[in-house]
Amino acid sequence: MTDLAIRVEGLRRSFGDLDVLKGVDFGVRRGEIFALLGSNGAGKTTVVRICATLLRPDGGTVRVGGFDPVTQAGRVRESISLTGQFAAVDAMLTGRENLVLIARLRGVADPGKAAADLLDRFRLTDAADRRAGTYSGGMTRRLDIAMSLVGSPAVIFLDEPTTGLDPEARIEVWRTVKELADGGTTILLTTQYLDEAEQLADRIAILHGGRIIADGTLADLKRLFPPAKVEYVEKQPSLEEIFLAIVGKS
């Protein structure tokens, strides 16, 4: 259990008479991408908010980086970053100014250098001095994730990061998430897009009815079903493949 960056046991949370989390259990290993799947209202964001110190649980235990988000909230916040469903980018500032602002708030020694390094890492250098309000959806989300990396947090929570993005922008975000994990960052990703979890996740958990009903690798989850019937059919390209081929981004 010492290799777990996030450990959740028996997590419960209600809102009035509505029991959203009824005993959630899972663990996320250091340096892995862990996808939490569930339909709208399943409680994915509630789990993230509890782990990120934004909401108190009614019961159960949570540890993030070994710390309790309730009694050691300050220690947890020092080691995490949260990117929500809506970008926290200031549209009136340039990309560089957004990053410098966050770096100063986090007490980074050289905010300008930190901003320049992240702009280069996220392929935003050419747009660094343009107002963020002129960025495309994919560029805005990349900047948002770059802002969450200021100060090199060990754990990043991505709460439905590609909601509302077009296919090209989604693939841009996927590439960025994979690069973060390759660099050793632990990522808890919530999504309702099954293809997103399939593309990104080292392990997948399904939240339904207030509990985790399945947890494992994609191969583990596939073994829960009977062997597929083998048929020989002509494979047709998906709409996403057609779209990307037409615009030259395949």
Q: Which range scores top for mean pLDDT: 26-30, 103-107, 157-161, 238-242? A: 26-30
Please state the separation of Cα 41 from the chain's center in Å.
17
Assigned domain for 40 exists? yes
Sign of the C-alpha dihedral, residues 190, 75, 8, 71? negative
* Per-residue confidence (pLDDT) for residue 250, from 0 to 100: 44
Tell me, what DSSP letter sits at residue 43?
Answer: S
Structural domain includes residue 27? yes
User: Do 131 and 140 contact (CB within 8 A), yes or no?
Assistant: no
* Residue bearing the bigger pLDDT, 77 or 225: 77
> The domain spanning residue 140 has which CATH number?
3.40.50.300
In a domain, 70, yes or no: yes
Within a domain: residue 156?
yes
In a domain, 115, yes or no: no
Over 80: is that where the pLDDT of 237 sits? no
- Of the candidates 57, 44, 55, the residue with the CA atom closest to the CA atom of residue 9: 57
**Joined tokens for residue 247:** 């615009």
pLDDT tens column, 50-83: 999 999 999 999 999 999 999 999 999 999 999 8
Does 67 map to a domain? yes
Does residue 141 sit within a domain? yes
Decide if 94 contacts 129 (C-beta within 8 A). yes
DSSP letter (8 states) at residue 91: T
Show contacts of 181-185: CB within 8 Å, 24+ apart.
Answer: 181/31, 181/32, 181/33, 184/30, 184/31, 185/31, 185/149, 185/153, 185/154, 185/155, 185/156
Domain that holds residue 195: 4-89+135-246
**pLDDT on residue 117:** 93
pLDDT at residue 249 is higher than 60: no
pLDDT computed for residue 108 by the predictor:
92
| Count of structural domains within the chain | 1
